[in-house]
Amino acid sequence: MDQFIYLDYQATTPCDPRVVETMLPYFTDYFANSHSDHSFGQRANQAVETAREQVASLLGVLAQEIIFTSGATEANNIAIQGAVKYRLKQNHTARQVITVCTEHKSVLEVVNALAEWGIDVVTLPVNREGLVDHEALKEALQTPTLLVSIMAANNETSIIQPVNELAKIAHEYGAIFHCDMAQIIGKIDHLSLENIDLASLSGHKIYAPKGVGVLYVRRKPRVRLSPLFYGGYQERGIRSGTLPVPLIVGMGKACEIMCQEGKEEAQCLIYYKKLLIDGLKHNIVNIKINGSIKKSLPGSVNLHFPGVQALDILNRIPHLCLSTGSACTVSSLMPSYVLLAMGLSKEEALQSFRLSFGRMTTQAQVREVIDALSCAYHDIMAGR
């Protein structure tokens, strides 16, 4: 792998070796079911509760507000379907759910599926910066609304929405506010869940393993959810099933590391991003940034190379691991629906790709990326 430079930390991160080391004993030595009453089971249970504390501490919330899931997709599903189902069972009269057109598919597809339950879905647009208009949200909330779901940071553009302000507006109109926080957790240090009722996290975006995530469920005022599936009543009945203790331990450790090192890491990534953008702007005068640099995640950027197909660039630099869009859904030949929603033409969207640095990126790699991208661009423009 040495010759490859990984630049796709928004798709997934490697497991931090310290996370792997912490997990290993829970596969072999302390493998018991965390719900078994014997002392072996209790040891596993203790590890789960420690992980819960570690996650809660990163989020600045209570440990009892943390539900372990298989990832952010499941957390989004439980949050959206669970909140709506519960409120419908209570004979709530509202029938509307509001979301945004640039959400991850694990929100958009769930919300669309709610139509089968007689729910009306309002999908808000975004502006050229990828941001939601507060007035448009207020306008949509004139119709009684069960739930508003808006992500904190986009997985393609890394644009950060002011979700606490949006949540406040939702509350003024009596709606629950859910936030997909898979991309933002641990990446910025002034994140607050103050007004958020439900939030989704993914382990593999923060150097924990794939297959584990978290749903934050606010206790005061309490948000009640119906489960997606029924079983042994684990995780307060919201997510039944035997807990994957090693994965949960890994998630906890990853959060602990983020608590200790996240701030410094973010500073380093901001520096790398500036280095990259300055270097590329110097070499490619007409390069553009999709969205706003100031309102985006520290190590991520969405680049637009006018006049050149993104795939042509990527095909010339196969040692750089980059994606043109979300790894989770579309074929690379499709223009990104997120960029189209921000007002880019189909052509402009196909000339764009995201790039993200992370914990294992080095300054030497950043410099190599600047050179490789610049060469590839100029070679294509020169017809070489």
Q: With respect to ligand PMP, which residue has the nearer C-beta, 73 or 302?
A: 73
273 binds ligand PMP (CB under 6 A): no
Q: Which residue is nearest to ligand PMP (CB)?
A: 71
Q: Are 147 and 103 in contact (CB under 8 A)?
A: no
| Shortest Å, Cβ 11 to ligand PMP | 6
- Is the Cβ of residue 45 or residue 336 nearer to ligand PMP in the bound state? 336
| 101 given a catalytic annotation | no
Find the largest Cα–Cα distance for the chain: 71
Question: Contact between 71 and ligand PMP (CB under 6 A)?
Answer: yes
Contact between 179 and ligand PMP by CB under 6 A: the answer reads no
Q: What is the contact mask toward ligand PMP in residues 186 to 205, using x (rule: CB under 6 A)?
A: ----------------x---
The region of 67-75, 113-121, 255-263, 285-293 touching ligand PMP under the rule CB under 6 A is: 67-75
Task: Please select the residue that binds ligand PMP; options are 82, 213, 244, 250, rule is CB under 6 A.
Answer: 213
φ/ψ of residue 250, rounded to 5: -65, -40
Position among 183, 351, 352, 356 found at the interface with ligand PMP (CB under 6 A):
183
Selected range binding ligand PMP among 20-28, 71-79, 229-237, 342-350, rule: CB under 6 A: 71-79
Amino acid residing at 74:
E
Q: Check residue 73 for interaction with ligand PMP (CB under 6 A).
A: yes
Give the side-chain half-sphere CA count within 13 A for 23: 22
| Contact pick of 19, 56, 83, 151 for ligand PMP (by CB under 6 A) | 151
Q: How far is the CB of 103 from ligand PMP (least distance, A)?
A: 8
Nearer to ligand PMP, 156 or 348 (CB): 156
Q: Which stretch binds ligand PMP (CB under 6 A): 57-65, 68-76, 111-119, 296-304?
A: 68-76
* Of 108 and 122, CB closest to ligand PMP: 108
Nearer to ligand PMP, 356 or 361 (CB): 356
CB of 229 to ligand PMP, least distance (A): 16
Using CB under 6 A, pick the residue from 106, 158, 296, 336 that binds ligand PMP: 106
Q: How many residues bind ligand PMP (CB under 6 A)?
A: 13
Which lies closer to ligand PMP via its Cβ, residue 5 or residue 78? 78
Write the burial class of residue 286 (CB in 10 Å: 0-12 exposed, 13-18 middle, 19+ buried): exposed
Specify the residue, 94 or 185, whose C-beta has the smaller distance to ligand PMP. Answer: 185
β partners of residue 275: none
Distances from the Cα of 307 to the Cα of 287, 291, 328, 333, 347, angstroms: 10, 19, 27, 16, 9
| Member of 15, 19, 47, 72 binding ligand PMP (CB under 6 A) | 72
> Of 101, 255, 328, 375, which is the active-site residue?
328
Residue 314-353 contact track with ligand PMP, rule CB under 6 A, x = bound = --------------x-------------------------
Residues that bind ligand PMP (CB under 6 A): 71-73, 104, 106, 151, 155, 180, 182-183, 202, 213, 328
Residues identified as active-site: 328
